[in-house]
Amino acid sequence: MINVCDIQIMKPLLAQHGFHFSKAKGQNFLIANWVPERIAEDAGVDETVGVLEIGPGIGPLTQQLCLRAGKVCAVELDKRLEPILDLTVGEFSNLEIVWDDVLKQNIPALVQEKLNGLRPMACANLPYYITSPILTALLEAECFEAVTVMVQKEVALRIAAKPGTADYSAFTVFCQFYGEPEILFDVPAHCFMPQPKVTSAVVMLKIRKELPWEILDKATFFRTVRASFAMRRKKLQNGLAAGFPELGKEGAGQVIASCGLPENVRGETLNIAQFADLSNEIFRRKHSD
Ligand code: SAM
């Protein structure tokens, strides 16, 4: 197996194929063996698992996943990488590469077609310019047991944030609605070529099999969350009134009171159970009119 993380091997390999890194495609390739090894290991990949990998690049993580998984399906946008991947991961019979933009894929259908019969997981060193849309698509697919991704450290902190902290956001609630996050480890910038300007971190989201909250309407729940964070420095009442004009300020106050929350509560201090209560109350009011 070619050691693609060894820059003495990687540089001539890329030069031989006239490959130049594309900043626009978020191409920062791993040059430290321990990182892909640890991602594949900590993600819990074994022969019962089918992995969807996004952005294999020249294949450092792909190799480690193929060594452990029942099957790997890797989606890569950049066709220039095909001859290089032929050399670095061509030997693996449990690998299938899909040449496409992952955001154009129907992920549940792809998983069903390519990883049928295996425990589906997603693993990736994500292209950072589209971290949020990819994570959103992976979580909304509702077909994985776990999603383990390398992201900018600041994004990992937002994903795993606790209520009332500066990192806690609507994106935190979105991620934690679907899964339980754990930051596995940090990855310094010198582990990549070219080096990014930021530190990275690997975060694992164990996907919830059942929601621990009763949520009457998912759309109202996420609308409530967005409205609650839209005016961070203002009272929740103002945020809800702006996000649900049909409630008005008085109605927003009544919703907050009937959930047993203080009148001057701020949205960013609420946990998911409290957002669920608020959204259920709003939903009930709208449907009792
Ligand atoms: N996995 C490799 C590694 O760890 O060295 C490469 C990671 S690099 C950060 C991101 C990879 O995602 C690149 O190979 C890039 O071409 C690919 N990529 C970028 N946008 C993509 C998209 N929309 N769909 C699929 N792959 C994409």
Nearest CA to ligand 1 atom 8: 27
% of the chain surpassing 90 pLDDT: 97
- The CATH code of domain 218-288 reads 1.10.8.100
Q: Quick one: pLDDT at residue 105?
A: 97
Residue in the structure block whose two tokens are 């701020």: 266
Both tokens of 116, joined, read: 């049928």
CATH superfamily of 7-207: Vaccinia Virus protein VP39 (3.40.50.150)
Do the two domains 7-207 and 218-288 of this chain adopt the same fold?
A: no
Which of ligand 1's atoms lies nearest the C-alpha of 78? 16
> Is the confidence at residue 251, as pLDDT, over 70?
yes
State pLDDT tens for residues 22-35. 999 999 999 999 99
% of the chain surpassing 70 pLDDT: 100
- Is the CB of residue 25 below 6 angstroms from any atom belonging to ligand 1? yes
- Is the CB of residue 28 below 6 angstroms from any atom belonging to ligand 1? yes
Average pLDDT value for the chain? 96
Instruction: Give domain limits for the chain.
Output: 7-207, 218-288
- Tell me the average pLDDT across 102-121: 98
- Tell me the average pLDDT across 281-287: 92
Report residue 78: phi and psi, to 5°. Answer: -95, 100
State pLDDT tens for residues 191-230. 999 999 999 999 999 999 999 999 999 999 999 999 999 9
Which of ligand 1's atoms lies nearest the C-alpha of 27? 8
pLDDT interval class at 289 (50, 70, 90) = low
Q: Quick one: pLDDT at residue 231?
A: 83
State pLDDT tens for residues 263-281. 999 999 999 999 999 999 9
State pLDDT tens for residues 155-202. 999 999 999 999 999 999 999 999 999 999 999 999 999 999 999 999
